[in-house]
Amino acid sequence: MRKTISVRTTIVLVLTSLGLGIGATRLISGDNIFEDLNKFKDVLSLAQKFYVDDIDSKKLTEAAINGMLTQLDPHSVYLPPSTTKQEAERFQGSYQGVGLEILALNDTIMVSEPMGGGPAAQLGILSNDKIIRIDDSSAVGYTTARASLKLRGPKGTKVTVTILRSGVKQQLVYDIVRDNIALTSVDVALMITPEVGYVSVNRFSATTSTEMVAALGKLQGEGMKRLVLDLRGNPGGYMQEAVKMADLFLGGGTEKEPHKIVFTKARVPELEEVYVAQSGQEYEQTPLIVLVNNGSASASEIVAGAIQDWDRGLIVGETSFGKGLVQRQWDFQDGSSIRLTIARYYTPSGRLIQRSYDGKDAEAYREEAFTRNESEGDNLDHANDVRSKADSARPKFRTNGNRVVYGGGGITPDYIVKPGDLTEGTKDLLRRDVFYSFSTAYMDAQGPALRSTYGTDYQKFDGSFTVSDGVLNDFKAYVKSKSLTIADSVYQKDGEFLKARLKAYVARSLSGNEGWYSVMLHVDPQLKKALTLFPEAQKIAGLDKTSGSKKIN
């Protein structure tokens, strides 16, 4: 990856002046800003002196900031100190604690998953363990947030956790020394056929490209010849990490005509950037399919847009969210911050991915992405674009292979595939999370025997364990005991999915995300369709169907 325009010095000067509160006001808005600031100061001062009740000036200031940002765009936001800290951890890729994913269930803190390599996992804490005490305090009745706060702490400090485990009579006491815990952005990397690898990425954090290279290396060692990259539900993150990911699969072009990955346009020209690919990456000839849906946004759309514009592979799923704005974060002394939109980004063909937000409040703007009425099917020429009737009003672009694509509304897939048509009854069960609570009770009874039989071998479990009709009947009885009324037709229509969901929770208890994905991908319509499309993906990329290498004419 190469950035063709260097703006480091300019950005540092701009950001420094903003951080110090001097100079930058003239650069950005001119002298009128001082009159506006004086007006705000006067209003706040009058309220503090004369309002009928005491006021919280900090609260009013934050409300004013929020109100101001809502007049700009849906993605310019104010973050209070607690949110700023959480977001920093989420995207920087680590925090300090014990390394447990936990969930409050019926007043009990359950271990969903010990994070591999973390201090809790190294001591032998298992999925489905119940945390009943943290240090000298009972954890019964704790919320997930409260328990998490107690478990986190500075690296090197100790916390004592008391656990109940099914099949073990006595309480288990663990003294855990906290450490740096990696927050991974690659959920899983596994082989789903002898030759097809699958990688799911949940966000673009500071460590994503490093994780991705490691995941691809692992899969290549296991025989990967083709790849499905799953960006469904990925809300984005760091643009630079998206560029690095796209660069893994794109050739660099020539010195005169380098292959762009993404470029930005801004009101302040010094903030504009162009990123281009570099040749010589190991996976430039690997046949590729990218999965997206309406929750795929921002950095995810940079990757999908570059792959689509260069005809490097196929995009499969549902039209992505449509966020083509670039934010930069400024931090304040009290720990709060703002994220301000500074530019728009464009795909290699020149497409702006940002949907229109004019005349829409934030809720209507977001809801719009999830209420499209798309028609399933082959969309290689984008004739099935959900906005086809309005396409004359949308800018038209061409891919490297001269296929039509449209700007201004997210990335529309080359093959539109919906996620599956579940009954409302099953959707209600998913919302109420009864699958997890039932599987917890099931593991209390069967966990020791299952761990003895399968250990952490997710492939062995997936290949031989089945959810019997008897277990499904037990699940029906459990649902009924929760005062939920689910018609028999729900179990008949969605039986395969229901059994897979129950099996996946058991698999996750045994072997984490690899267990979960290895089961759920069997009932994933979008993935199933993607696996049939590699011949087409290789055709548009100009790759030989057998070797994956470029054809020589």
Q: Dump pLDDT digits (tens) for 92-114.
A: 778 899 999 998 988 899 998 89
What pLDDT score was predicted for residue 381?
Answer: 83
Q: Are 318 and 229 found together in one domain?
A: yes
Instruction: Decide if 3 is inside a domain.
Output: no
What are 206-217's pLDDT values in tens digits? 999 999 999 999
What pLDDT score was predicted for residue 254?
Answer: 87
Q: Are strands 172-177 and 158-164 parallel, antiparallel or unpaired?
A: antiparallel
Instruction: Decide if 549 is inside a domain.
Output: no
- Average pLDDT (524-530) is 98
Instruction: Decide if 6 is inside a domain.
Output: no
* CA-based max dimension of the chain: 83
Per-residue confidence band for 548, with pLDDT thresholds at 50, 70 and 90: low
- Give the tokens for residue 373: 């009425």
Q: Is the pLDDT of residue 308 over 60?
A: yes
What pLDDT score was predicted for residue 318?
Answer: 96
What pLDDT score was predicted for residue 362?
Answer: 85
Q: Is the pLDDT of residue 59 over 90?
A: yes
For the chain, give the number of residues.
Answer: 553
Q: Is the pLDDT of residue 477 over 80?
A: yes
Q: Are 196 and 173 found together in one domain?
A: no
Q: How many domains does the chain have?
A: 4
Q: Which domain holds residue 452?
A: 424-523
Contact 118, 98 (CB under 8 A): yes
Q: Is the pLDDT of residue 29 over 80?
A: no
Tell me the average pLDDT of the chain: 89
Of 288, 398, 405, 287, which is closest to residue 353 (Cα–Cα)?
A: 405
d(CA 22, CA 285): 51
Instruction: Decide if 116 is inside a domain.
Output: yes
- The enclosing H or E element of 187 equals strand 186-191
Q: Are 102 and 32 found together in one domain?
A: no
Q: Report the 10 Å Cβ neighbour count for 539.
A: 15
Q: Are 154 and 221 found together in one domain?
A: no
Helix axes 495-520, 434-454, angle to 10 degrees: 50
Amino acid at 387: R
- Average pLDDT (51-71) is 94
Q: Are 287 and 401 found together in one domain?
A: yes
Q: Is the pLDDT of residue 392 over 70?
A: no
Contact 520, 499 (CB under 8 A): no
Pick the last residue of a domain from 182, 197, 226.
182
What pLDDT score was predicted for residue 4?
Answer: 53
- Give the tokens for residue 281: 């990456």
246: alpha, beta or left, given left = phi > 0 and alpha = psi -120 to 50? Answer: alpha
What pLDDT score was predicted for residue 553?
Answer: 30
Q: Are 121 and 153 found together in one domain?
A: yes
Half-sphere exposure of 22 (CA within 13 A, CB side): 1
Instruction: Decide if 553 is inside a domain.
Output: no
- Give the tokens for residue 215: 């995941």
d(CA 328, CA 469): 54
What pLDDT score was predicted for residue 72?
Answer: 94
Q: Are 156 and 211 found together in one domain?
A: no
- The enclosing H or E element of 425 equals helix 424-432
Instruction: Decide if 535 is inside a domain.
Output: no
What are 323-350's pLDDT values in tens digits? 999 999 999 999 999 999 999 999 999 9
Pick the last residue of a domain from 182, 215, 241.
182
Contact 341, 326 (CB under 8 A): yes
Of 380, 244, 247, which is closest to residue 308 (Cα–Cα)?
A: 380
Residue spans of alpha helices (H) in 310-416? 362-368
Of 281, 277, 307, 282, which is closest to residue 292 (Cα–Cα)?
A: 307
Q: Are 150 and 209 found together in one domain?
A: no
- The enclosing H or E element of 219 equals helix 208-221
Would you list the DSSP string of 45-113? HHHHHH-SS---HHHHHHHHHHHHHHTT-TT-EEE-HHHHHHHHHHHHTEEEE--EEEEEETTEEEEEE
Q: Are 316 and 281 found together in one domain?
A: yes
Instruction: Decide if 537 is inside a domain.
Output: no
Q: Report the 10 Å Cβ neighbour count for 38.
A: 10
Contact 442, 547 (CB under 8 A): no
Contact 537, 544 (CB under 8 A): no
d(CA 154, CA 408): 46
Q: Is the pLDDT of residue 528 over 50?
A: yes
What pLDDT score was predicted for residue 446?
Answer: 94
Handedness of CA 233, 236, 240, 246 (dihedral sign): positive
What are 135-187's pLDDT values in tens digits? 999 999 999 989 999 999 999 999 999 999 988 889 999 999 999 988 899 99
Q: Are 371 and 452 found together in one domain?
A: no
Per-residue confidence band for 261, with pLDDT thresholds at 50, 70 and 90: very high
Distances (CA, A) of 163 to 122, 141, 166, 171: 15, 15, 10, 6
Q: Are 216 and 176 found together in one domain?
A: no
d(CA 200, CA 203): 10
d(CA 72, CA 342): 11
What pLDDT score was predicted for residue 16?
Answer: 31
SS3 267: coil
Contact 284, 260 (CB under 8 A): no
pTM, whole model, 2 decimals?
Answer: 0.86
Lowest mean pLDDT among 192-196, 359-363, 380-384, 444-448: 380-384
Q: Report, as residue numbers or ranges, the catalytic residues.
A: 298, 309, 323
- Give the tokens for residue 531: 């696996």
Pick the last residue of a domain from 121, 148, 182.
182
- Average pLDDT (314-330) is 96
Instruction: Decide if 546 is inside a domain.
Output: no
Q: Are 239 and 311 found together in one domain?
A: yes
What pLDDT score was predicted for residue 323?
Answer: 96
What are 264-286's pLDDT values in tens digits? 999 999 999 999 999 999 999 99
